[in-house]
Amino acid sequence: MKYSLLLCSFFLTIIPLSVQAQDKNTARFGDVTEKDFAHKVYGIDSNANAVVIADIGTSDIQGNSKGWFSLQYKHYKRVHILNKNGYDIADVSINLYSDGDDIEQLDKLKAVTYNLENGKVVETKLDTKSNVFKDKINKHLVRNKFTFPNVKEGSIIEFEYTITSDFLNNLQPWEFQGDYPRLWSEYNVSLPEFLGYVFITQGYHRYDINEKKDRNESYRVIDSRGAGASDWFSFNASVTDCRWVMKNVPALKEESFTSTINNHISKIEFQLSEYRQPLTYKNLMGTWPLLTKGLMNSEYFGQQVTKDNGWLKDIINPLLKGVTNKTEKAGKIFAYLRDNFTCTDHESLILNQGLKNLVKTHNGTVSEINLLLTAMLKHEDIDADPVILSTRSNGYSFALYPILSKFNYVIARAIIDGKTWYLDASEPQMGFGHLPLRCYNGHARVVNETADAIQLSSDSVMEAKSTTVFIINDEKGNTVGSLLQTPGYYESFDLRKRIKEKGKEALQKDIIKAFGSEITMSNFQVDSLNQYDYELGIRYDFDLKGEKEDIIYLNPMFGEGYKENPFKSAVRFYPVEMPYAMDETFNLQLEVPQGYVVDELPKPIVVKLNEQGEGMFEYRISQSGDNISLRSRIRLNRSYFMPDEYEMLREFFNLIVKKQAEQIVFKKKK
């Protein structure tokens, strides 16, 4: 399982235990000696540019003077920078949440760089008053940034700070893994029985310590905000101290076919779910129908879709003049928005402007454009609803718990004559019923009364590509041919964008360069270029150039084969997430060059990916007289592969690369 979602109650009996309380990290702020510089290379990763010696966090809940409770988070970190390629770890960002006049408080920040000079440890302290800079990222996020001073190859750096937060839903998450290996990563969280949190854990590295202890604590809450005397109350409550430690955690680098590395690093997150006694009980998490009801009733989301939008008729009526079929209506509305509106932000969940203003400016976010699409479809009595999802780069959302912050994207769903269409009008040149690949990230939710769960899985997308090549000898004895290719839909989508930016001529040059033999191209055509619902058709004729040597080596894939394995790493610690399943077919009919005979022909082969037949590679080649036939096909029925399947997948493509590189050898007739 990639994720484990646990509800932390007072007893926490559902978390497995491995009690090793005596196992403590000895690193302490300021306690750096010359012995700490001895390591030039660390066994955890001999190629590491920097190593995190210790990374320790602590979160607990305390009564405050505002009549409620606050979160206090303490963070300590020590790093050994081994060479200049590790300098980036000396740049530190600390995010603080803001909600109007209230903002989380950063205190007790200390940061020191240690260097060994002439056998002595020399300290350089960060001036926190003048060298910590604040950036307001948005209305809810303020980023504090600093860079450690006097960093050199071999430096040891460490910092510590405290964040006090009045936002109980902002219990700090913890990443046990990152860009650099970590010798010790520890997080301690103390939770009182009157607050319930959902735990969301992920990753593939096991805890070395996973323990809990129960104790009692006295809480005192003071309300000093009034004009008179302060009110206060105190009570005792049971507290559970949770401690998680991972040792010798390897770095996790992003490799090919990864949605986002944040989906796979070992980490733990929290979501406030409920208040309990002695507080007044309240379920804060709610349900999916409650969440979607809140969205539909929000003036920043659903109200714009469900209210009387009679003004839309002035836009819609000219578009649909004479059209009665609902599917055709939906297609015309979709195409109008796609072709006439510009998306300014492809990560957006709520509206920053009303739909009327969007129509005036023709500029809006993905949520605004697709909510307008939904409103226009509803205006025409088409069954349509918004759908919220998390894009691949944003990470997974969870079907079990309604956590709105996990979503960052809105599309539309239309049901017409029993057929379901998913639509995104924010992407230029995207066809009706197609979604950008970033949307295929698993769980999504329809924003309606029943809050229907849907799965937008990359396994459901089959990218089928077909290429056919004919090569003959003309009446002059020259070798000439033709190629007809239908790329898959998403390759066609990429080619359309490329042609729009650089023109057909640039595509021709790239094809000639990749062909694998010297050719002269003619009659180059690209069909369906402006028919975005369909795949392209590419066709051209060519003459094979080159001297007629005694021996001719010819790769029969003509640039269409895999030249290198896309899976380069020897091992992989997290899943392969390809954007789609695939079915690529290459057919060749080749007449033996005039005056030559076949000296060597590659051998045919058919290989299954696994016993279940979830993938297949066939390379069937044969000769009949002066004619050679080749059929090369690669099929993968799924796009997602677990780490223990990686070697199988890598060897499968190794075989493909090797086989598709083989050549036919012709020699002159004697």
**Domain boundaries, position 573:** 462-668
Handedness of CA 436, 442, 447, 448 (dihedral sign): positive
Residue 429 above 60 pLDDT?
yes
Do 466 and 582 lie in a common domain?
yes
Do 405 and 421 lie in a common domain?
yes
Do 224 and 267 lie in a common domain?
yes
Q: How do the residues of the chain divide into helix, strand and coil, expressed in percent and rounded to 5?
A: 20, 40, 40
Residue 622 above 90 pLDDT?
yes
Residue 188 · residue 172 · CB < 8 Å: no
Confidence of residue 225 (pLDDT cuts 50, 70, 90): low
Residue 10 above 70 pLDDT?
no
Residue 317 above 90 pLDDT?
yes
31 within some domain: no
Q: What CATH number corresponds to the domain at position 390?
A: 3.10.620.30
66-100 confidence digits (pLDDT tens) = 889 999 999 999 999 999 999 999 999 999 998 87
Confidence of residue 229 (pLDDT cuts 50, 70, 90): low
Q: What is the pLDDT of residue 12?
A: 31
Residue 477 above 90 pLDDT?
no
Q: What is the pLDDT of residue 7?
A: 38
33 within some domain: no
Span 393-403, mean pLDDT?
A: 92
Do 272 and 317 lie in a common domain?
no
Straight-line distance from the first to the last Cα atom of the chain, in angstroms, rounded to the nearest whole number:
65
Q: What CATH number corresponds to the domain at position 561?
A: 2.60.120.1130
| CA dist list (Å): 344 to 301, 347, 394 | 17, 9, 17
Q: What CATH number corresponds to the domain at position 264?
A: 2.60.40.3140
Q: Give, as one character, the DSSP assignment of residue 459.
A: G
Span 15-32, mean pLDDT?
A: 69
Do 237 and 344 lie in a common domain?
no
Do 149 and 238 lie in a common domain?
yes
614 within some domain: yes
Which of residues 283, 315, 338 is at a domain's end?
283
Q: What is the pLDDT of residue 114?
A: 98
| CA dist list (Å): 608 to 525, 611, 635, 651 | 36, 7, 9, 12
Do 431 and 482 lie in a common domain?
no
Q: Are strands 50-63 and 182-192 parallel, antiparallel or unpaired?
A: parallel
User: Residue 582's closest CA among 645, 633, 635?
Assistant: 635
Reading the block at residue 550, the tokens are 């005694």
Q: What is the pLDDT of residue 101?
A: 79
Do 267 and 329 lie in a common domain?
no
Confidence of residue 19 (pLDDT cuts 50, 70, 90): very low
Q: What is the pLDDT of residue 518?
A: 87
Which of residues 456, 488, 518 is at a domain's end?
456
Do 263 and 316 lie in a common domain?
no
Do 259 and 297 lie in a common domain?
no
Instruction: Burial-class residue 55 by CB neighbours within 10 Å (0-12, 13-18, 19+).
Output: buried
28 within some domain: no
Which of residues 440, 456, 472 is at a domain's end?
456
**Which residues are within 8 A (CB) of 87 and not within 5 positions of it... i.e. 6 or more apart?**
81, 151
Q: Mean pLDDT over all residues of the chain?
A: 92
Handedness of CA 301, 307, 311, 314 (dihedral sign): positive
Span 403-415, mean pLDDT?
A: 96
348-373 confidence digits (pLDDT tens) = 999 999 999 999 999 999 999 999 99
- β-strand partners of 90: none
Domain count within the chain: 3
Do 97 and 239 lie in a common domain?
yes
Q: Which of 305-309, 353-357, 630-634 has the lowest mean pLDDT?
A: 305-309
Do 83 and 198 lie in a common domain?
yes
User: Residue 399's closest CA among 294, 293, 287?
Assistant: 287
